[in-house]
Amino acid sequence: MPVLAVKHRFLGEDSPLATLNDFFKYHRKNEVIMLKSGAAENYNATENTCNDLFRQSTEQRTLILVK
């Protein structure tokens, strides 16, 4: 499988690595509208908590998600 990843990267057929912030942006745009109001209200708090915990545990600004 790693050989295919290299091939796709070389040919420019891969998608850029998604970050934790990209994940939250996607879900805010596409998924939050399907949540009940209580869950949607908690979404921002969950996003902020995840970002705060990540910043406290590392010196990076965001987490790169790997498939």
Q: How many whole angstroms separate alpha carbon 7 and alpha carbon 4?
A: 5
pLDDT score for 1 = 47
Q: Which amino acid is at 26?
A: Y
pLDDT (tens digit per residue) in 9-67 = 778 776 665 777 888 887 888 788 888 888 888 888 888 888 888 777 776 666 666 65
Distance CA 13, CA 6 (A): 10
Q: What is the pTM of this model?
A: 0.54
Q: Has residue 7 got a pLDDT over 60?
A: yes
**Is 65 in contact with 23 (CB distance < 8 Å)?**
yes
